[in-house]
Structure 1
Amino acid sequence: MTATIRILVVDDSPFMRKSLQKMLEEAPDLRVVATARDGVDALEKIQEHQPDIVTLDIEMPRMDGLTCLKKIMADHPMPVLMVSSLTQEGAQATLDALSIGALDFIPKESSFASMSILQIQHDLQEKVRRLATSPRFHRLPGGAPHPAPPAAAPAPVKPAAAPPVRAAVPAGTSLPATPQADLLVLGSSTGGPKALQDILPALPASLPVPCLIVQHMPSTFTKPFADRLDGLCQVHVKEAEQGEPLKAGTVYIAPGGLHMTYGTRTPKGCIELSSEPMSSLHRPSVDVLFMSVAELFHGQALATILTGMGADGAKGMEQLKRKGAHTLAEAEESCVVYGMPRAAVERGCVDLVAPLPDIAGHIRRHFRI
């Protein structure tokens, strides 16, 4: 029998509180144990109800969401899902929240009409379900959730339809050193913004190859995210633009709403952006990027999959591996959601599995930087 996930909904709008509660409680395993109108109210309700996860609005009176989030992470660490505006200001605040410790966000349209709510219901339920069982947190008997040390982290709840793991987790301690890769490609989703913020600043400006990254994000978020990373990194980080030639030491973030692929219209490769294939579950898609590299790139590639829900990137990584690419996946112990890396491991196409704190080091050693 599936355990019921207990949720606190925090929003200053009575309409939003009721709407989120209704959407969540249509799933039999989700129950809203309380609602709160602002950050002060939320902290009191956390103490009283000990929820498994909090959905948290950003703009609220008395105590805003970011201030509340800081207090939650300091005093009652637990999974938090932000409810975020898709405006430029909302994007910046959401990126702040992810840096502070929120695990993910759901978009909140400014009008949030009934139709918008229906469209995000499934996404909301799945994110709450996955984040509440994240390896990043565990519940002590009779107490609030605390950050889980890696050795004690429980395995996340697996989807019912998931097949058993067919391949053993790679036991190596490093990536193959030769031949050194000529291109670095990387995919991530839930938990990815914080993971990328840990990895990319650890790479030196002398990174000898271009880096192409697909992070599942709305279109209004990817440029502020790239700009923020650029301010933190020695490598140059930017939102990718159609047709631009690839340069060593530059990291290209796929724009939200468009697929990014490797192109051959310039001698050293270029960025291609397109809305096709429209049938893809995600846009941008890690699989679409990886498959384009497998098809068109004739050098050696290093492909990495980080934390995220679902299986995007596993098929593409399998194709890259068949073409001789080196492959790296984030370990379950450090993932916010062990979905995308797990799918790649199950396909038997991963050279090395490593926890997040070790990934930048593996990349540096591979490129001898």
Structure 2
Amino acid sequence: MADDVIKVLIVDDSGFMRMVLKDIIEKQSDMKVIGIAKTGLEGVEKAIELKPDVITMDVEMPELNGLEAVKLIMKKNPTPIIMVSSLTSKDSEITIEALENGAVDFIQKPAGSVSWTFRSVADELLEKIRSASKVDPTKLTRKVTIRPKKPRITSLLRGKKIVLIASSTGGPRSLDAIIPNLPKGINVPVVVVQHMPPGFTKSLADRLNRISELTVKEAEDNEELKPDTVYIAPGNYHLGLKANGSRVYTYLDKSDKINNVRPAADFTFNDAAEIYKGNIVAAVLTGMGKDGAKGAFKIKHYGGKIIAESPKTCVVYGMPKAVVEENYADFILPNYDIAEKIVELLGGK
């Protein structure tokens, strides 16, 4: 087998899904299925034995579900894993937790747990396998810690300010290092654009809300921005901002994708820059592509501050790299130092 061929292990309890995944992957000249497992436990054993470059992992399986399999593989033989998830609230919750425990990315089955239309997302799957094969597995095993001593707020922050965060592949892990470390009392709204389909953004918001001092929720249409609240852009909608007097409201937009994604950070950043001018602290985190770079340019134009996540903690150094290469970044920091810098830039100590 050629050195440049991506070796893939398929873990799925559905015979139909195993067949479809194998057929899609093996039609590629740069990929090879080197093993198939029917349960999570068998998947862990084959991950150790076969040492694949990438694993596709079903969420719900007998013996050991996808989340528990991810945890064990990350302990025993760290490997880039792509979760294959159906859109149920249970599966989306498990998928989000798997991403926070080391899985690189996920792909959504178009319909149901055994999707007869899975071939419609074949191109997306192949793109994600190729991207995952380039990820350094050691970055997937670093434990995200919530610092016991959070940044101190010396006084209520004055003036109309906002925090903006853009993230994609690897984003849930970086958000886990940032949002729970933002202390209550920052007195500004936080808007997060994470590239994810509908349903998964709600699960992400709910999980972050459980472990954070700030209120974290999925953004709704025509909702007034409140301080000490984090708004996650809902999947498949651009999240816009509009001012009405001194108040700022959200709006959901179904216009064309930007940078091939919806929600797009550039859409949100652009609106925010027009309203908040220089009173913005924006962070561009791990992810493929360049979403956030054009928006960062506009924020910089008005005098706002830009933080780019360092390659040290990025799962994919794409979006932050685009910001750094254009010289828009005021700070380049690992994800575990970003919350402290945000508070400092807002006016805390």
Same fold (TM over 0.5): yes
Structure 2 CA distance for partners of 1:122 and 1:365, relative to 1, 3 Å:
same
Which structure 1 residue ranges, 5 or more long, are not aligned? 139-145, 150-178
Q: CA offset at residue 227 of structure 1?
A: 1.6
Structure 2 CA distance for partners of 1:338 and 1:180, relative to 1, 3 Å:
farther
**Residue aligning to 1:65:** 66
- On the 8 A contact 1:226/1:239 being kept in 2, the answer is yes
Q: CA offset at residue 122 of structure 1?
A: 1.7
CA distance in 2, matches of 1:233, 1:106: 27
**Residue aligning to 1:320:** 299
**Residue aligning to 1:191:** 170
- On the 8 A contact 2:192/2:233 being kept in 1, the answer is yes
Q: CA offset at residue 48 of structure 1?
A: 2.5
- On the 8 A contact 1:328/1:352 being kept in 2, the answer is yes
Q: CA offset at residue 147 of structure 1?
A: 5.0
User: Which of 216, 234, 242 is 1:255 aligned to?
Assistant: 234
Deviations 1:208-246 (A, max 9, x none): 211111011111112222121111111111111111211
Pairs aligned (count): 333
Q: TM-score normalised to the size of structure 2?
A: 0.89
CA distance in 1, matches of 2:137, 2:320: 15
CA distance in 2, matches of 1:279, 1:52: 31
**Residue aligning to 1:290:** 269
Aligned partner letter, 2:273:
A
Alignment of structure 1 residues 117-196 onto 2, 5 Å: 117-137=118-138, 182-196=161-175
Q: CA offset at residue 265 of structure 1?
A: 2.3
Aligned partner letter, 1:297:
Y
Q: Which has the higher contact order (CA 8 A, sep 6+)?
A: 1
Paired residue secondary structure (1:186)? strand
Which structure 2 residue ranges, 5 or more long, are not aligned? 144-157
Structure 2 CA distance for partners of 1:262 and 1:2, relative to 1, 3 Å:
farther
User: Which of 264, 279, 285 is 1:300 aligned to?
Assistant: 279
CA distance in 2, matches of 1:338, 1:181: 31
Paired residue secondary structure (1:219)? coil
What RMSD, in angstroms, separates the aligned Cα atoms of the two structures? 2.4
Q: Does 1:229 align with 2:208?
A: yes
**Residue aligning to 1:217:** 196
CA distance in 2, matches of 1:103, 1:212: 23
**Residue aligning to 2:102:** 101
Residue identity (%): 40
Task: Flag as ranges the 4+ runs of structure 1 deviating above 6 A.
Answer: none
**Residue aligning to 2:38:** 37
Structure 2 CA distance for partners of 1:56 and 1:66, relative to 1, 3 Å:
same
- On the 8 A contact 1:181/1:302 being kept in 2, the answer is no
Structure 2 CA distance for partners of 1:295 and 1:2, relative to 1, 3 Å:
farther
Q: Does 1:342 align with 2:321?
A: yes
**Residue aligning to 2:49:** 48
CA distance in 1, matches of 2:161, 2:330: 17
Aligned partner letter, 2:254:
S
Paired residue secondary structure (2:199)? helix
Paired residue secondary structure (1:261)? strand
